[in-house]
């Protein structure tokens, strides 16, 4: 296929290819696999013919989906929020491969598939590394088929968890990888620990891009071959195989040289023969039971971490409340201090006023004492003066009493005289009445009217 130009030819091209088997597989996949399932694994290990690789991948993954291809055509008409970031990453994806050169058909197809997926799966959207997963697909099939296969890989091959915001599946893969490393290459594992090398510094790139970020494409294609048969867990085999093949070199590198070697030099050992890479990977014993045990340990570890995070968050929340309470108390103390200062000032003012009043009281007390002394010294003089005045008053009173008695006697005499006068007046009135009657009788007798 002309798209594959630009990378080294694979060994399988020059070897005898069992075209009958591959033809039968494409014609009746279920029947061929059911008849001899182990043969498929053996044939995949030898290598899928490059000319058939795109079709074989789709058959292995059962990704052919006309409806999804129609959906892809509709998604291309829409606008993605991630287009700016996708465009920015296009030039960084396989920059040395002719098909993906700037303004080529490869970049356009790559952009379309990644953009369509960002619309198809809004939770994942676009994540750096996704374009490296799509690139090898586009080198072996049209973009609409690559989109369908990508959707299948994300859903059925459990790769979606490599790109979700929490990257939960990726975290599990890295944990399983470290457990396998400790078991299969303990000296490398210990050396990494001593040098401060964590799997996130190199292996996360492997698992997110399926080794496509730095590795030669002929190695990447062989990894894809196995992945579509064995599942994403096969990536663990390839990772351990790389560490085993470079065991001695790794142990002789310190931190900086080791980081560079893990990113750029690790695959040199397998540049000559990709088949050896696949064989070494299959010699790494990775059983589903062992991976399940690692997954259980990882789940327990995550649960413990979440509990610790929850406890830590609870402590933070408690600290926030305590800090707020401290601030409130500090504000209260500040207010009390202000009130205390004001009270202290008030107390000083009152004490000064009391001192002034005490001074006035002392002055008044002294005046009272002085007045008491004056009163005591003048008491006899006043008493004598009062006695003389009382005696004089009494004498005048006696004199007035005598005069009163004389007046009373005079009044009694005058009253007697008044009575006698009234009696004499009454007798004279009687004589006047008798004379008046006699005069009237005389007139009658004389006939005078």
pTM for the model: 0.68
Q: Residue 303 falls within a domain, yes or no?
A: no
Q: Residue 148 falls within a domain, yes or no?
A: yes
In whole angstroms, give the CA distance from residue 100 to residue 392: 149
pLDDT score at 387: 80
pLDDT tens digit sequence for 89-125? 988 899 888 898 877 788 999 999 999 999 999 999 9
Task: Identify the residue whose tokens are 């259980």.
Answer: 296
Q: 150 near 116, Cβ under 8 Å?
A: no
Task: Identify the residue whose tokens are 């010699």.
Answer: 283
In whole angstroms, give the CA distance from residue 199 to residue 313: 27
Q: Residue 121 falls within a domain, yes or no?
A: yes
In whole angstroms, give the CA distance from residue 149 to residue 53: 13
Q: 168 near 204, Cβ under 8 Å?
A: no
Q: What is the CATH classification number for the domain harbouring 9?
A: 1.10.472.80
pLDDT score at 377: 72
Q: Residue 190 falls within a domain, yes or no?
A: yes
Per-10-residue mean pLDDT, the chain, length 449: 46 66 93 91 92 95 96 96 93 88 84 96 93 96 97 94 92 95 96 94 93 92 94 93 95 93 88 88 90 90 77 74 77 78 78 80 79 73 75 81 81 82 85 87 82
Task: Identify the residue whose tokens are 């080794």.
Answer: 211
Q: Residue 225 falls within a domain, yes or no?
A: yes
Q: Residue 159 falls within a domain, yes or no?
A: yes
Residue 117 belongs to what domain range?
3-286
In whole angstroms, give the CA distance from residue 63 to residue 57: 8
In whole angstroms, give the CA distance from residue 55 to residue 146: 11
Q: Residue 23 falls within a domain, yes or no?
A: yes
pLDDT tens digit sequence for 313-363? 766 777 787 777 778 878 877 877 787 778 778 877 788 888 787 878 778
Give the number of domains in the chain: 1
pLDDT score at 277: 93
The CA-based dihedral angle spanning residues 408, 412, 415, 417, taken in that order and rounded to the nearest 10 degrees: -130
Grouping H, G, I as helix, E, B as strand and the rest as coil, residue 123 is: coil
Kindly state the tokens that stand for 443. Answer: 């007139």
Q: Residue 227 falls within a domain, yes or no?
A: yes
In whole angstroms, give the CA distance from residue 278 to residue 205: 20
């Amino acid at each position: 296929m002309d798209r594959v130009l630009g990378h080294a030819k694979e060994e399988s091209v020059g070897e005898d290819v069992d075209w009958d088997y591959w033809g039968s597989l494409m014609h009746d996949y279920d029947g061929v696999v059911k008849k001899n399932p182990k043969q498929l694994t053996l044939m995949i290990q030898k290598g899928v013919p490059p000319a058939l690789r795109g079709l074989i991948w789709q058959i292995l993954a059962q990704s052919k989906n006309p409806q999804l291809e129609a959906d892809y055509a509709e998604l291309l008409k829409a606008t993605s929020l991630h287009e700016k970031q996708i465009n920015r990453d296009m030039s960084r994806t396989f920059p040395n491969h002719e098909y993906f050169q700037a303004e080529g058909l490869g970049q356009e197809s790559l952009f379309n598939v990644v953009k369509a997926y960002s619309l198809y799966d809004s939770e994942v959207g676009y994540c750096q590394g996704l374009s490296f997963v799509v690139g090898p697909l586009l080198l072996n099939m049209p973009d609409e088929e690559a989109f369908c296969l990508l959707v299948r890989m994300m859903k059925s091959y459990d790769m979606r968890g490599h790109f979700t915001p929490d990257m939960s599946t990726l975290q599990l893969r890295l944990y399983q990888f470290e457990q396998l490393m400790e078991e299969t290459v303990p000296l490398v594992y210990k050396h990494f620990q001593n040098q401060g090398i964590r799997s996130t510094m190199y292996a996360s790139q492997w698992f997110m891009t399926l080794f496509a970020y730095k590795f030669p494409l002929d190695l990447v294609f062989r990894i894809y071959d196995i992945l579509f048969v064995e599942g994403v867990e096969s990536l663990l085999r390839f990772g351990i195989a790389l560490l085993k093949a470079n065991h001695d070199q790794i142990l002789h590198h310190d931190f900086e040289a080791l980081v560079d070697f893990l990113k750029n030099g690790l695959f040199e050992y397998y540049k000559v023969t990709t088949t050896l890479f696949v064989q070494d990977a299959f010699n790494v014993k990775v059983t589903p039971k062992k991976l399940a045990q690692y997954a259980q340990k990882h789940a327990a570890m995550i649960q413990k971490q979440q509990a610790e995070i929850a406890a830590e968050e609870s402590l933070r929340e408690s600290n926030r409340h305590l800090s707020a309470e401290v601030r409130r108390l500090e504000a209260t103390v500040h207010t009390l201090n202000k009130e205390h200062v004001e009270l202290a000032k008030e107390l000083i003012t009152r004490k000064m006023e009391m001192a002034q009043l005490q001074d006035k009281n002392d002055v008044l007390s002294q005046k009272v004492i002085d007045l008491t002394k004056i009163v005591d010294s003048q008491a006899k003089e006043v008493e004598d003066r009062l006695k003389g005045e009382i005696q004089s008053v009494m004498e005048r009173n006696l004199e007035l009493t005598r005069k009163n008695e004389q007046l009373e006697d005079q009044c009694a005499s005058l009253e007697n005289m008044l009575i006698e006068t009234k009696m004499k007046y009454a007798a004279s009135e009687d004589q006047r009445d008798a004379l008046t009657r006699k005069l009237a009788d005389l007139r009658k007798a004389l006939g005078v009217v």
